[in-house]
Structure formats: structure tokens, C-alpha cells
Amino acid sequence: MSVMYLEETQWARRRFLALGLGVIGTLYLVAFILPMLYMVAVSFGETRLGTDQFEFEGPLAAYERFWGSEYYREIMFDSLRLAFSAIVGTIALGLPLAYTATKGSRWYRIVIIVAVVNPLFVSTIVRSFGLDLFLKAINLADSFGAVLIGTVQILLPFMVLPLMSGFRAVDPLTVHSAKTLGSGRFRIAVQIVLPTLAPSLLAGSVLVFILSMNIFSIPLILGRPEDPTMALVVYHSALAHANFTFAAGVALILLALALVVIFLQGRLVRGAVRGVV
């Protein structure tokens, strides 16, 4: 009796699991895998859309155009520069915020979490536009600095939230032990806290990197039109010039850069985790 019941619940659980996996798998396939494969095909110019106004110039035309042009290479380096600057900026602001939110009183924590997370509920476009108006008023708009300020502000939660869990993982007793052993603040920060924080720093950095490489409303509104980012090149190529082959190619280069970063992070985290867990 009980065995039968057990078997029945097991079957029910398996059916439920199969259903869930089926739904997720279908969604993944239809909304992600197939479009990505299609985009790869488009980027090679094989499957040309009716609206594409450009001649077929060989399967690697999009990539040749991107890599062969000083202009586009420069755009890629500018995008990378923005991404790494955003990482530095979010870390510089995020470390003290996350530390205070974790170690400070309850009120500090609430204020910081609300302040950091709340802007996520306001549309990026609305926020960028507001920032643009303000920066125009103080003559700072339409510059790399303006784009960086906007990017850091919008991506800050993606650094602060992992860092908060990182600070929570620091055992106060190890810090206390280090103190009793004669360690000063600097040694504690570098040798005790930083290694525990490293996986969170990496996770936050990867999130900020990928998001800032792909963000386009910020550079669109805050940046100089003649200095687009890679995401803006995709946007303009596809929507303004209807050059889907080139847009797909640049989008895939963006994706490849993200994958490289995720791969490097995975290796670094495995290295760091081997030391801790």
C-alpha cells in the first residue's frame, strides 16, 4: 500500500518534472537556440531577408568589414574601454556600499538596498533621459564620461548585490583571529577579506561587463552620435540601414566577447573556489 503510494507520487513527480523540462526546453529552443542559429546563418549572408538592401559579397563579408575597418575596430576598443571602466567604477562605488550594507546597522542596510535596487524599477530610457537633461545643464552631456556615469549608475546593483553576499561570507571570527595575531587593517583586507570576496567580485564584474557591452539606450542618449558602441552599431545597422547581415555579424562578435569573458571567469572562480570550499 505504502509502496504503491510511494511509486505513484514518484511517477507524479516525474511527470511534473518532464512537463517543466518540456516547457523550458521548448521555450529555450524556439526563443533562443533557433533564433541564434538563424542569426549565425544571416551573418554569413546565406539567408538573406527580403528587406536586406545589400548585395551578397561572400559568406564572411560582415566579419571582414568589421575586422578590416579601423573605424569598427576602434568602436570595439571603445566599447571594451567603457565596459572595463564601468567595472572599475561599479567596484569603486560598490565596495563601500556593500560593506556598509552588510556590516552596518539595519537602517544603513535598508537605505542602501533601496537606493541601489530601486532604480531598477525605472525604465533605463527614462533614467538616461533625465540624466541627459541634467548633464546638458552642467555641460557634461554627449561625452564618454557621461556614458560612463550613466552606465555605472544603471549597473551598480549588479555589482553591489553579489558583493553583499561576498561580505556576508566573510567569517567575522577569522577577521578577529587575524587581529589577535597582530594583523593591521591592510593585511586583513588583502589577505583575509579579499580572497573571500574574489568570487563575488568576479561574478559582479562579468555581469557588468556583459551588460555594459550590450547596453544601448545609455550611449544612444548620453553619448556622442559619432562615437557609437558595438551595441549601437548593431542597432543602427539593423534598424537604420537594414543591413541585417552586418548587424548579425557584429551581434555575434559581441556574443563571442561575452563568452570569452564568461569562460575566463569560470576558470578563475574554479581556481578561487578550490582554495575555499
Partner 1 sequence: MDSEFRSAVLVDSEESWTSAESGDAHAKGVVIDGVRKTYGSVVAVEDLSLSLAPGEILCLLGPSGAGKSTLLNLMTGLIRPDVGRIEFGGRDVTDVPPERRGVGAVFQSFALFPHMSVFDNVAFGLRCQKIAKTEVARRVPEQLESVGLGDKAMRRPHELSGGEQQRVAFARALITKPAVLALDEPFGSLDVQLRGSLRSMVRRMVHRSNVPAILITHDRDDAFGVADRVGIIRKGRLLQVGSLSEVYHAPQSAFVGRFLGEANIVVLTNGQIRTAELGEAATMIRPEHVQLVAPDDGRYAGTFVGSRQGGHLTRSFIDIGGTTLQSNSSGDGDDIGYRSGDIVGVTWDERHIRALEPDPDDFDPTEDRA
CB under 8 A: which stretch of 98-106, 148-156, 183-191, 238-246 binds partner 1? 183-191
Cα-based torsion angle of the residue sequence 31, 37, 41, 43 in order, rounded to the nearest 10 degrees: 80
269 forms part of the interface with partner 1 (CB under 8 A): no
165 forms part of the interface with partner 1 (CB under 8 A): no
C-beta of 3 vs 181, nearer to partner 1: 181
CA 90 to chain centre: 12
Cβ neighbours, 10 Å, residue 197:
23
C-beta of 188 vs 253, nearer to partner 1: 188
CB under 8 A: which stretch of 7-15, 169-177, 219-227, 253-261 binds partner 1? 169-177
CB under 8 A: which stretch of 44-52, 171-179, 227-235, 262-270 binds partner 1? 171-179
Cβ neighbours, 10 Å, residue 198:
18
Q: How far apart are CA 226 and CA 224, in angstroms?
A: 5
C-beta of 1 vs 173, nearer to partner 1: 173
C-beta of 58 vs 275, nearer to partner 1: 275
Burial class (CB in 10 A: 0-12, 13-18, 19+), 108: middle
With the C-alpha atoms ordered 35, 41, 45, 47, is the resulting torsion angle positive or negative? Answer: negative
105 forms part of the interface with partner 1 (CB under 8 A): no
List Cβ neighbours of 246 (8 Å cut-off, separation of 6 or more): 54, 61, 62, 65, 66, 237
103 forms part of the interface with partner 1 (CB under 8 A): no
Question: How far apart are CB 107 and partner 1 at their closest, in Å?
Answer: 18
Question: How far apart are CB 180 and partner 1 at their closest, in Å?
Answer: 5
Among 178, 211, 258, 269, binds partner 1 (CB under 8 A): 178
CA 50 to chain centre: 33
Contact residues: partner 1, CB under 8 A: 171, 173-174, 176-184, 187, 191-192, 195-196, 272, 275-277
